[in-house]
Structure 1
Amino acid sequence: MILKEACVADFEALKTAVDSGANRIELNSNLAEGGTTPAIGTAKMAVDYCHSKNVKVIAMIRPRGGNFVYSKNELDVMKEDINFLSSINVDGFALGVISENHELDFNSIDFLTKNIKNKELVFHMAFDEIDRKHHKKAMEQLNNLRFNRILSHGTPYSGNLDIDYLREMISMSNNTLEILPGGGINSHNVNQICNLIGSQQAHGTHIV
């Protein structure tokens, strides 16, 4: 069975997705900007509803749209968001920080995650902005930081899905990290795409 992660930005969309068979939720605000940290009230209601249905909630940690290079103040905001969302029992966090030269910003990610316990960690599509020549090293670093998976198009070009490279990423990860494909995957093509990639999970705004 394919695990279907629905990307949503409000409670009504979340409820519809869960009631339609979503197995996991990525909770955001501002999907038009690529997804940002969810509102407090939405997050609390999401956790309560999803946990009553045995569905996990992964909260986006992203203070704004745009690039994934963050200032010290922005990192402090992200840390506070993580602390609050941990207190209301979200199941995990989707986040990503890269450097100006398109490598993983290990120190910033360590700052954000070092005190997180018993939560899933997902490096979101900021990974697609990392130069491919650094992907294997980035995967090793993320594994050392206790990340569970990487959400990826397999390409830096938004809206596209590079099936061949996603297969390569699964091989490159050597079973240390899950590769979660996302980008143009919907309820009509999810099974076909997952079969082509060799994935048992998929992510999308219309996944159910």
Structure 2
Amino acid sequence: MTALEIAVQDVAGAVASATLGADRLELCAALAVTGGITPSIGLLDATLAAVPSSVGVHVLVRPRAGSFVYSPEELAVQVGDVRAAVRAGAGGVVVGALRPDGSVDRDAIARLLEAADGREVTFHRAFDTLHELAPAVDELVSLGVVRVLTSGGAVRSIDGLARLAETVRHAAGRLQVMAGGGVRPDDIPALLGTGIDAVHLSASRHVAESGGPGGGSAGYTTTDAAVVAAAAAALDPVDRLQPS
């Protein structure tokens, strides 16, 4: 069965996603504004306490928005964050690092894998900025990365079907391929046609709120339970839970 992963930013979203059929959660912060950065340990602790142990909680480890080329100091922060996530009980981590020439930063990923201490490691959408697909897949396999999150190089994964299918073919079961990037429930049947192993979406809605002076007025995003339920139904309409 193709797995469903939901990117969540709060405990309520994690609980709703787990209840409605998510197999795995990617826990992150500031998703809409930055594309996702490392969440707090407090949020991780609360999420792990609130969701069933059968639902994997994987922590996004990304110190800032912007490029995926990191200084030694930024890499050291990520290594520390991976270790902290593992100590807290996360089932896996989501990481990515590139060299200035746009290739996979093998040394950085090796250090992050070591810090993960056997937990599952997903290489995130830094993969979509790589120029050459096949060498990157081979390198991630050789390093021991479990899966890659990719939109097929497009803004929305529904527009990257050809590259998604190419990634699946080249991975040949050596690396799980998870489609993510602007996924809507209606896109899922076409995505499944590429042979992917998992679907990833934020299933979010915007909440308009003002933070007052100095707090900004953009509001925030949170999980939309109806979208999670629709995605679960699109993957497996018989076995997954439906909203009452």
TM-score (norm 1): 0.92
Q: Which has the larger radius of gyration?
A: 2
Count of aligned pairs? 203
CA–CA distance in 2 between the matches of 1:15 and 1:193?
Answer: 28
Residue in 1 aligned with 2:136?
Answer: 138
Matched, 1:147 2:134: no
> How large is the RMSD of aligned CA atoms in angstroms?
1.5
Structure 2 residue aligned with 1:159, among 156, 161, 170?
156
CA–CA distance in 2 between the matches of 1:184 and 1:112?
Answer: 27
Does the aligned pair in 2 maintain the 1:194–1:200 contact within 8 Å? no
Deviating runs (4+, > 4 A) in structure 1? none
Relative distance call for 1:139 and 1:8 in structure 2 (3 A) is same
Residue in 2 aligned with 1:103?
Answer: 103
Question: Unaligned stretches of 5+ in structure 2?
Answer: 204-226, 229-244
Q: Percent identity?
A: 28
Cα-to-partner distance string for 1:119-143 (whole Å, 9 max, x where unaligned)? 10100000111112xx222212211
Residue in 1 aligned with 2:56?
Answer: 56
CA–CA distance in 1 between the matches of 2:135 and 2:187?
Answer: 32
State the AA in 2 paired with 1:178: Q
CA–CA distance in 1 between the matches of 2:101 and 2:14?
Answer: 36
The 5 Å alignment of 1:24-173 reads: 24-31=24-31, 32-50=33-51, 52-132=52-132, 135-155=133-153, 157-160=154-157, 161-173=159-171
TM-score (norm 2): 0.79
CA–CA distance in 1 between the matches of 2:94 and 2:137?
Answer: 15
CA–CA distance in 1 between the matches of 2:116 and 2:182?
Answer: 31
Residue in 2 aligned with 1:2?
Answer: 2
